[in-house]
Every structure is written in C-alpha cells, then in structure tokens.
Chain A
Amino acid sequence: MTSQSIPVAGSGRHERVPLRLRLAQRGIDGVTLLVLPAALFILLLFVYPFLYGMNLSVHPKGGAETVGRFANYARFFSDSFLYDTILTTLWLALPVTIINVVMSIPVAMRVRLMRRQRLLTTILVLPVTLGAVLVAEGLLNYLGPQGWLNRTLITFGLVSSPIRLVHNYWGVFIALIIHSFPFTFLLTLSYVTGIDPSLEQAASTLGAGPRARFRHIILPLLLPGLAITFCLSFVQDFAVFPSAVLLGAPAGPTRVISIAAYQAAFEEYDYSMASAIAMIMGFVQLLIVVAVLTSRGLFYRGPAGGGKG
C-alpha cells in the first residue's frame, strides 16, 4: 500500500532503472525481507513435516516394494477398527458443531444489545483458557454417578437412578459442548457486532418484524461469518483427543481418529501408519471445510457495515 511509484521518464527507458529500484517499485526491499525468518520457520516446521509425513505414509513399515506403496491406506480402509474412527469422530464433531453454531446465533444477537458484555464474555472465555484436559477432569467429577448433576436430578425427582454420563458418548459430547460453545459464541459475536445496526433500524422503519429482520437482513450478512465459524469449530471438534480418552470410552464408542493416530505413533511406533492416519484426518477435515466454504459462495458476499466498511 505504500509502494510509491518511481517516476520513469519514458516507458522505453524502463530497463535502465537499477534492479534495486525496480524491485522496490514492486514492493520488495529491505523491509519486505523481514517476513523471511517467520516464513522460513513455518516452511521448515509446518510445510516440511507435512510433506515429510505425506511421503512417509507411502513408505509403509514392511517396505514399499513388498507390501505396496499404499499399504497403510489399504490397511486403514479395510480394517473396521480403523476406518470406523472416521464415522465415530464425525458422529461427535458434526452434531456438536451444528448445535454450537445454531445456539450461538440467538445468544449473540441478544448479547450484542447488552451494555456490559465484558463480564459474560470473560466468563465464557474460561473454558477456552482452561483447556480440554481440565474440562474433562472437572466433568469426570461433576457428571459422575455421585456428582452434583446427578444428585440435583435425583433430588428434583427427574430421574430415579443416576444417569450414566461419563465413560461413554455423552461425556465426550458434553465436554465438547462446554469446551467449544464459548469459542463458537465469541467468534459469532464478533461477526454479529460487525453488522451495522442502522441496517436493521432501516428495515424496522419500513415495517419489518423481528423475524423478518433476522431472515432478510441479519442472516444473509452473517452467513459468510457463520461459515468460517463453523469451519474453525468443526476442525477443532474433529481433532478431539483428551476428552475422548479421559471422559469417553476410548476402546469403543469414542475411539476417535486422533486416538488411532496416537496409538499408531506412540504405542506401535509405526510412524508411517501414524502419518497416513494424520493425512486421512487432514483430508476429511479439508473435505468438510471445502464443502462448507463452497456452499458459502451461493450466499451474499459483500460489506456488512453500511458505509463504514
């Protein structure tokens, strides 16, 4: 944005300008080079390991010549103990993400009007800060058969015997909601507050009720943000690990794909297989994200702030 153009007398004399100036004209100078250390770091420690893992995954443990290049992938998709983990993970991550996104819209719409938002947002940022391990440990106590939740339910006569909420699907489900609803909500809130209130006021002046205002004004403006929110929360929920081990049944109903990858790497020491599972994990995430972002292209795209940008 600050790359000033250098006056050149005639277009024919363009070659005469020294290389340094020509580069500077295109925005490359000493300042631009400052991006290099960080960029090289990410190339070396993010892109390279990814490519290395991809390459490692097609060099299976038995040797590529004897078992074939794609032996790891073949094993993953022929062993139900392994390929079922994809469905198990989706079965956890998709409902949780959808519930969180759907719930955070009305709450964010309401909180937007609040004057003292900071207290609520501070409370809600707690589980994000504390992390999944602490949430899992807390819920082990709280949801357990002797925990406060079951005691309350029994006292009010809602259930006769404690309901089982730990070491099964629901434990992980609740842990994911507690851990990722605040994340989804705060992200949605930041998008909702980005919509200029005067747009809604204009609709209201023209006689639109709250439901019509939401459907025809807010929702179309919010959808691109919601798509991003959905993707970010989904990707996090899909990689669930600590709560699936601590609160779930890691051998059965909550054997998610990250557990399979972890076991391959650190219990069987088969890094090639582990890389293959990590690649499959990344691919499934990418598939969902691309699906969501392409459908986003069908909706309105444009500024959500009337004039202020």
Chain B
Amino acid sequence: MKHKSFFWFVLPSALAMLLFIFFPIVSVLVQSVYVDHEQVIKTVETCDLFGCKESTTVDQNATAALRAEHPLGQFAGFKTYTDRNHLAIDEFGENWTRSNSWRDFGAQMLNLPFYKAISFTLVFTFVVTPLVIVLGFVVAVAVNSAVKAIRGPLIFFSLLPMMITPLVGALILFWMVDARGVVGAALQYLAGDPDLSVKASTPLMWIMLMVYGVWHSTPFAFIVYYAGLQSVNQDTLEAARVDGANRWLQIRHVIIPHLLPLTTFIALMQLMDNFRVFEPIVSFSAEAHATSLSWAIFNDLGGETRQLSSAAATSVLTIIGVAILLSPVLVRTWREFDRK
C-alpha cells in the first residue's frame, strides 16, 4: 500500500483514538495532580451590648471567585496518589514498623481502601480468568461433539448468561443466594446451619462474586472457542486418528495448539474485563466485604462531595494495573509476531 493511501486509511481511526482514548487519559492524568481549592475563611467581628466577639466563617464570594479563577483546583503533585485512600505511603511505613508478623501486616494493609480494593480485584481476576478459559473450552468441545440437530438450542442456552445486562444477571444470582432463595436455602440445608448467610460472610461473598464472574463470562470464551473449532483442519485430525491418537490426544496435540491464538485473545479480554469488576459488587450489595478499583472510582464520583481528583488518581492506577497485567501476554504475542 502506498504511504499516502495508508495515511488516509488510518487517519479516521487515529483521530478517533486521539479523541476518545488519548485526550480523556491526558485529562484524567492532569486532574489527578490537582485538588479542590480550600474554602476561603474570613474572620468577622460582631459587636453587641455585651462587647465584641471574633468568629470565623466561610467567605462564599471569595471561594467562588477563587474556583472561577482556577477551575482545575490547586496543584498537589502526587499528594493524592500517596494519601490514605490510595497508595497510603505513610500508613504503609507505619504498619510495617508496628506489625509483628506478615499476617498482622497484611490484615492492617487490608484496612486501607486501595489495598482492600486491589486485593479483591487481583484475586477475582486471577481466579475467574483461568476458570472462564477452561470452562469455555470444555463447553465448546462438548457442544461441538453434540449431534447437529440440538447444537442451535445448546448455543442459545449457553449464551444466556452473557446476553443479559450484568447488573440484572448479578441481581438474579443475588436473589437466589439470599437466605430465603433457592441456593441460599440449599446451602443452609447442606451445611446443616439454618443461620448460614452468604451476605453476612466475607469468604462466601468473595466465592459468590467469583462464581458470578465465571457464570457471566464463560459464554464469551465458549463462543470464541466454538468458532475456532469450526476451522480445525479435518485432515490433520484424520491423520491423528489414523496414527492411533485417541480423543484426548487429538485435543491435546491438534485442537489446543490450533486454538492457542484464541486463548491469548480470550485471556487479554478477560484480564481487562475482570480487572474492572464492578457490577456484581453493586448488585450483591457486597461493598462491606469486597470492593474493587472500579467501585472505588464509582464511590468517589457518587454522593454530594464528588472527589474528582481521587477518582482520577484511582483511574490512573487502574490503567497502570491493566498495563502491568497485559504486558506479559502482549510481549509474548509481539515476540511471536516478530519471529514470523
């Protein structure tokens, strides 16, 4: 392709990426190093029959004028990043010197909002992603092995968890695990504990959120793998059969290598998706047990006092987290591409 043709071909995409990805990220980066202006306080002297008294009050006009003059706020550098709600550098040091053991240190760190959120986010990501890949592959192979007449309904029902809005899907599961719901009652029966409540237990709530994550995302892996299975070279499979390979060996040596690029794709998508886990936490009302980085951003932006700088700092940390998570897969893909 000529350079000029390539330029005009790429220009719309490049402009869209600049407008919708690059500029918002720059805006968030800038916002994260500024904080709101403090209110201007003035001292007022009030005199009455008993004498004069001095009192302090907020100078609304001066505060409004200051905010109008510098709408971005005041420059704070990395102060927001290091405060208690984010990296908590001071608290990290204090906990390190104060704690007697790793366990104690970990427990104290998990009381800090950012570390509480990142711990659940990482556990969720690293538990849900491999489970989704394995389960999606198993379901795809099973559906592909079924007789053709029932494959259509099987695909339809397999895609159901992905079809509905995540918030609604999570809400359905939330009703089911309620102490009066079908799953909640079954768990109470199995555990022999009539007071067992998923909502009251942090470990059970974490497990439930991960079960939801796997349930919701497996159809995505399934449909990608199922599409990949349609392009498996039948001659290679036939040759493997002639060589005496059983079903497992065919899967191990023909199908899995064929689907490897799709596994990389699913892993990338799932790592990104799971790292910004949000909907199940809201639907399950699980904030007391589990928070995530996305939930922290939502929490900062909600309510009457919108903490834009805090939300921006958490967003930047989330972007850095996603970049770190994806880097091994991206480097590996780049090396393979380079080798070819």
> Do these two chains really belong together in a complex?
no
> What is the interface of chain B, defined by CB distance below 8 A to chain A?
none
